[in-house]
Structure 1
Amino acid sequence: MPTWLVFALVALAFAAVATWVSRRLLDTQVGWVRSVIISLVVFSLSIPLVLWMLKQSHVYADGKFLVGWPVVTTFFALIVGWVFAVVVVVIVVSEFLVPTRPLRNPIVVIRQAIKRRDRARRYAQIVVIASRHGLGLYQKRARGYSEELPEALVSAMNEAGVTFVKLGQVLSSREDVLPREFITALSTLQMDSTPIPWAEAEAAIRAELKRPLDEVFLSVDEVPLAAASVAQVHTATLLDGARVVIKIQRPRARAQVTTDLDILERLAGDAERRTEWARDLGARALAAEFARALRNELDYRVEAANTEMLREAIAKSRSAALNIPKVYDDLSTARMLVLERADGIPFSRLTPNALEPEAAHAVVDLVVDSVFEQIAARGVFHADLHAGNVILTDERTVTLIDFGAVGVLERSVRRLLAPLLVAIANEDDVSATDIVLLLCPPMSGGSVEQTALQHDIGAILTRVAYAPGDENVFSALIEVLRRNRLAMPPSLLLVFRTLTSLEGTLRRLVPGYDMVGRGLARAPQIALQLSSPRRVALDLQAQSAIVAEQLRRLPRRIEGITQSLQDGTFSVRIRALESVDDRRWVDSIVGEVTATIVGVALVATGFFLAVSDVGPALTEDVRAFSFLGSVLGLGGMLLLLRSLSGAFRRRTVDR
């Protein structure tokens, strides 16, 4: 058999064994291909070194062995062990530099490559837009930012498209974390956009209907009623004569939003890793919540469900003064919404003299009564009540449109919100402060100076009581909470933001309208709805059932404790390290520390024995103690490698 073939077979056998043992020793999914290649390379490079060592040890010379086979076998075992240790070292280093990843589905690889390309292209567009508006040129001033920065940021967001406009609109409601200048600027963001051609819109509608338009609609107006970055609206008439509107999503809107959200989530994660303010703000969680909400807005089935939910809530109200358009579910899809047309004039186009003063006050009073009841009593409300979403009909009623954002306020918050409104109406700063502290815990586990908070709230209530209409109590409360570092529940923050927006909408019809005063006057009646005899009876029934069950179990628990005390078996269990996973983690740490200590001891002992020149001679130049030191050093090296692999594996999991 040729020598090269023997060498190849031995090398392959060594690579197979070394790979298998390495994977078992490291206890990690090291790639087979990588391990085999490393083993072959190390084996090939070690042959000249092994021959040199055998000659220096007078074990082999001139093509023959100089000692007996037992010694030769022992030397070969030691050399193979050290070569194997080198293989493991190289594998660990390579895993540290370039971790092994499983083979990926080619289709997934292609999709991810396309996403990376789209993301890179979008990154470039965003950078160009930011540079065009000079966002990188503004220098810090004494207040921390340039005076021109808020307006420049708004201009850049408007140009960047729907995702950034929506992000700005969301940030404009975070008065608890952003300065007033940014809030004011971001509140001007609009969703108006250039309409897509009718041919493109018609194709999108036909694709959603899965049939020609004339099989569903008697007519469709080719000129859009409104156009935004995500969708545009066309008026139409059904075959039965019903007048409707078609809200059709732009064909490329979803793809752009998907790419933008991917970018935002990555930027938020990077900011949270690098900056303290992003960690305090919870940037990653905020980005994830924003992405979830925006994806829901892209699914018009969610908007249809919101519409029906709000319609049902208003139908159960005592002051059902608001109209909600009907949704045609059989014609609506995830990308298209067909609704009953809301005839009338949006509040955004009204002038103060559109109605007689008495009639105008009657209209806005009905809106306030209904919205406050929806929020505080029902817990379901329209969360985007800007002037374009509120329609005044010819019959002097009000219709709401666009239900992409509907707020839901849980009953536990409503039970505190209603008394808060009563306390504000009664100028009771003590009760208002207590309720605020129940609703809003301190940020980041901090504390709050209750006296200072009560003073701030009392000052607001006094100003509202004696200067009605001059200050929005909800905006002022948000500012006080931000200044005192109190974390407001997102649902309650949405309520305050909605009411602030509603006040601006109603003042288009009645300038200087005191929405807060009207709402606070309704607060006692709303509080009574929450504490109706039926609700109180049901609450008492539920609570009494819980208390009764706890009392029923109490004697047995007391008896068990006293029996344990009498028997001397009473014990207290500490929950720390109670779970199996926690105990395994501690066991692994202790095992690795022990292995490291033993490994270091073996390496140190092996070194001192290896350099010693005592003991019986195995060969002409090698003493038994030196050989034993090499063996101990090899064992210590393997233990250290295993400990190093375990630490590296834990760090990879923590990531």
Structure 2
Amino acid sequence: MQRLLGNLLIVPTLLVTVLLFGTVIRRLLGVRLGPVRTVAAAVLALLVVGPIMQTLTPDPVPTDPATIALLLGLTVCCASLVAMAVVVIAEAIVPDGSLPGPVELLHGWRSRFARTRRYGEIVRIAVRHGLGRFLRGRRHVGVASSPSRRQLARSVRRALDDGGVTFVKLGQQLSTRRDLLPREFVEELTHLQDDAAPVDWARIEEVLRAELGRPVEEVFASVDRLPLAAASVAQVHAATLTDGTEVVVKVQRPGITRVVERDLDILGRLARTLEVRTEWGRSLGLTTLAAGFAEALREELDFTVERDNLRAVGAALTAAPDRGVRVPAPRSRWCTARVLVMDRLPGTPLGAGDTVLAGMTGQRRREVAAALLGTMLDQVLETGMFHVDVHPGNVLVDADGTLGLLDLGSVGRLDGTTRAALGRLMAALGRSDSAAATDALLELVDRPDEIDERELERTLGGLIVRYAAPGAGTGAAAFGALMRLVTTHRLAIPPQVAAVFRAFATLEGTLVLIDPAFDLVAEARRAGVGRVAEALTPQRLRDSVTDEVVALLPVLRRLPRRVDRIADALEHGRLGVNVRVLADRRDRQLVTGLVHQVLLTVLGTAAGLIAVRLLGIPGGPRVTRSIELYDVLGYGLFIVSFVLVLRVLILIFRRSTD
């Protein structure tokens, strides 16, 4: 019975001992440790107690209680030091939090298995398209020539196309970043088509029933089961509401959200790894780029965002009805995150509208193209919300020249400062003012610490002379030259500004399809000069001055009193300037941390030196019959020195990983 009772008490005794060791180790190191690392260190300390006790016990074995107590205390301290040293070494090799814990492993094994399988699928796609040699981590010099880059770009485009919706969208997004990719890659990635095989009507009907909360027949009088268009994210069906209104129904593909989230997780992990391990990844800010792409794609998957975009853009177009550009009005009652119901606009897609365009005169086609350009300029320079992908498939044209814009799932948004800078850039280009254009361009980009502004101004002036002349070059060439200029001078373009350049580069192809003689650069210059002239009318100037005075009025009212106080203080010798050193809390924390580390290092070193000196003194008073006082003090100071040094080391390792 006593043996059974003793065996039952072993487990709680071990648990309590492990918890005590873990608490002591965490307190002495002064940092938070993960539960697995804490328990492992405590178990290690418990395992080395016996060997350390045998090593420290003299021969013959002492029998007095005081000596045994001192030896036991010294053993516990040494065991804790061994465990702490192992924790510090582990922190240097594998920082805390860099590996998933057991709970995370238990809950996330399915997602990790799916991600691993997806990794294998992506690698197989890359190898199939001849990209396997770039997965080995070696430098490749065989892509220096334009033909080799074009061949590689073609392989990348095909691999992205096979990768699915997320990678197709990524390729389309990268095709707009002429500042990041060579010309061959940009041209090849623009050929990515966001289309897919249609989903069976039965599965589409299940989504409609789940999202609408009722049978399809109660909402629609009829629905065409053959889709008007099928893309990788959704497909569109023509339908008629019960009141007879003709609408189109955009339905998200079943299961697409799960696929996209898995691929976005892979892209995010890859971006973080490349940013940590490569210089070019850090210079490009891959984590930020991946986060922006993920946010834009998630917006596109939420059809309520597109519903709100349709409302906002439609309200702005209503203010300029003479342009003849419309967007479909959403039927908000039947719009959800996966279903979008909107009015069906009359017209034919511009890509298949040759017959409609052929029935217009040349003057009318020029007016229609100018109306579309004016609408885009209104969106970019005034409302701040613009269509980022005005390609011919997203534009409907009617026989009377009315245009309809489709697919507003992802739009660009510009703040007032960016819109003003874009306006100044267009106005400067219209005046061929390279100095003003340089200033406006520097307001739009993230400028580096060092930049040769005079060289930038000269280069930009050369581009203005080259592309501003009538018939000198197409808009796409002008935008490409501007992107190369930005890249050459190491200017980083924010994503929203890059979206503007992409929108106008895409718009040019649409405008030329409407009117082959349409000159985007010349018309944009003319529109910029016209908008500047409108801003200089007496009424607009009066309104601008009034707004500025109203904004400055509170400052102007306080200014005389402050000037009087400064003059009085200066006259009586009381004028002084107060500068608060280390006013920022982060600066104080940094200095305090450094001071603490220096103090711990000094104290640890001093304690270690004193411990060595004490342990080297022979003789001296005795605490017990076999233990001297200098030995106790020396070992105690040595333990203190060891603990302080370990605290400094683990703080250094933690800060370096942060």
Tell me what 1:299 maps to. 302
Cα distance in structure 1, aligned partners of 2:112 and 2:200 = 30
* 1:163 and 2:166 aligned: yes
> Do the aligned partners of 1:135 and 1:152 also contact (CA within 8 Å) in 2?
yes
Cα distance in structure 2, aligned partners of 1:75 and 1:106 = 37
TM-score scaled by length of structure 2: 0.87
SS of the residue corresponding to residue 333 of structure 1 reads coil
Tell me what 1:219 maps to. 222
Q: CA deviation at 1:549?
A: 2.9
Q: How does 1:226-625 map to 2 (within 5 A)?
A: 226-317=229-320, 319-351=322-354, 353=358, 355-442=360-447, 444-451=448-455, 453-467=457-471, 470=474, 472=476, 473-530=478-535, 536-554=541-559, 555-556=561-562, 559=565, 563=569, 570-575=576-581, 577-616=582-621, 623-625=628-630
Aligned residues: 644
Cα distance in structure 1, aligned partners of 2:15 and 2:49 = 14
Structure 1 residues 215 and 107 mapped into 2: Cα distance closer, same or farther (>3 Å)? farther
* 1:190 and 2:193 aligned: yes
Deviation string, structure 1 residues 19-68 (Cα, Å, up to 9, x no partner): 43333222333467865675466446434653564333x561xxx44xxx
- Which shows bigger deviation, 541-550 or 233-242? 541-550
* 1:134 and 2:130 aligned: yes
Tell me what 1:639 maps to. 644
Q: CA deviation at 1:581?
A: 4.8
Q: CA deviation at 1:243?
A: 0.9
> Do the aligned partners of 2:299 and 2:410 also contact (CA within 8 Å) in 1?
no
> Do the aligned partners of 1:327 and 1:339 also contact (CA within 8 Å) in 2?
yes
Cα distance in structure 2, aligned partners of 1:492 and 1:79 = 66
> Do the aligned partners of 1:429 and 1:454 also contact (CA within 8 Å) in 2?
yes
SS of the residue corresponding to residue 504 of structure 2 reads helix
Structure 1 residues 561 and 390 mapped into 2: Cα distance closer, same or farther (>3 Å)? same
Could you tell me which amino acid in structure 1 is paired with residue 118 of structure 2? R
Cα distance in structure 2, aligned partners of 1:533 and 1:162 = 52
Deviation string, structure 1 residues 264-319 (Cα, Å, up to 9, x no partner): 11111111111111211111111101100110000011111111111111111274
CA RMSD of aligned residues (A): 3.5
Cα distance in structure 2, aligned partners of 1:108 and 1:14 = 27
Q: CA deviation at 1:226?
A: 0.5
> Do the aligned partners of 1:176 and 1:479 also contact (CA within 8 Å) in 2?
yes
Cα distance in structure 2, aligned partners of 1:102 and 1:563 = 58
Q: CA deviation at 1:542?
A: 4.4
Q: CA deviation at 1:175?
A: 1.3
Cα distance in structure 1, aligned partners of 2:209 and 2:199 = 15
Segments of 5+ residues of structure 2 without an aligned counterpart are 135-139
Q: CA deviation at 1:104?
A: 10
Could you tell me which amino acid in structure 1 is paired with residue 413 of structure 2? V
Could you tell me which amino acid in structure 1 is paired with residue 578 of structure 2? V
- Which shows bigger deviation, 506-515 or 536-545? 536-545
Deviation string, structure 1 residues 206-263 (Cα, Å, up to 9, x no partner): 2211111111111111111110111111111111111111110001211111111111
Cα distance in structure 2, aligned partners of 1:2 and 1:441 = 75
> Do the aligned partners of 1:119 and 1:263 also contact (CA within 8 Å) in 2?
yes
> Do the aligned partners of 2:471 and 2:519 also contact (CA within 8 Å) in 1?
no
Cα distance in structure 1, aligned partners of 2:481 and 2:407 = 28
Cα distance in structure 1, aligned partners of 2:90 and 2:487 = 50
Cα distance in structure 1, aligned partners of 2:192 and 2:333 = 34
- Which shows bigger deviation, 542-551 or 167-176? 542-551
- Which shows bigger deviation, 598-607 or 37-46? 37-46
Structure 1 residues 474 and 569 mapped into 2: Cα distance closer, same or farther (>3 Å)? closer
Q: CA deviation at 1:600?
A: 2.2
Q: How does 1:61-140 map to 2 (within 5 A)?
A: 64-65=63-64, 70=66, 73-93=69-89, 112-137=108-133, 140=141
Cα distance in structure 2, aligned partners of 1:367 and 1:37 = 68
Cα distance in structure 2, aligned partners of 1:536 and 1:110 = 67
Segments of 5+ residues of structure 1 without an aligned counterpart are none
Structure 1 residues 431 and 330 mapped into 2: Cα distance closer, same or farther (>3 Å)? same
SS of the residue corresponding to residue 150 of structure 2 reads coil
Structure 1 residues 561 and 295 mapped into 2: Cα distance closer, same or farther (>3 Å)? farther
> Do the aligned partners of 2:479 and 2:505 also contact (CA within 8 Å) in 1?
yes
Q: CA deviation at 1:114?
A: 2.4
Tell me what 2:137 maps to. none
Q: How does 1:27-38 map to 2 (within 5 A)?
A: 27-30=30-33, 38=41
Could you tell me which amino acid in structure 1 is paired with residue 481 of structure 2? A
Structure 1 residues 633 and 337 mapped into 2: Cα distance closer, same or farther (>3 Å)? same
Could you tell me which amino acid in structure 2 is paired with residue 572 of structure 1? N
Cα distance in structure 2, aligned partners of 1:382 and 1:122 = 33
> Do the aligned partners of 2:234 and 2:251 also contact (CA within 8 Å) in 1?
yes
Structure 1 residues 379 and 99 mapped into 2: Cα distance closer, same or farther (>3 Å)? closer
Q: CA deviation at 1:545?
A: 4.2
Cα distance in structure 2, aligned partners of 1:479 and 1:506 = 24
Structure 1 residues 602 and 301 mapped into 2: Cα distance closer, same or farther (>3 Å)? same
Could you tell me which amino acid in structure 1 is paired with residue 121 of structure 2? Q
SS of the residue corresponding to residue 399 of structure 1 reads strand
> Do the aligned partners of 2:195 and 2:231 also contact (CA within 8 Å) in 1?
yes
Q: CA deviation at 1:394?
A: 2.8
Structure 1 residues 641 and 181 mapped into 2: Cα distance closer, same or farther (>3 Å)? closer
Structure 1 residues 282 and 534 mapped into 2: Cα distance closer, same or farther (>3 Å)? farther
Q: CA deviation at 1:536?
A: 4.3
Structure 1 residues 621 and 345 mapped into 2: Cα distance closer, same or farther (>3 Å)? same
> Do the aligned partners of 1:457 and 1:480 also contact (CA within 8 Å) in 2?
no
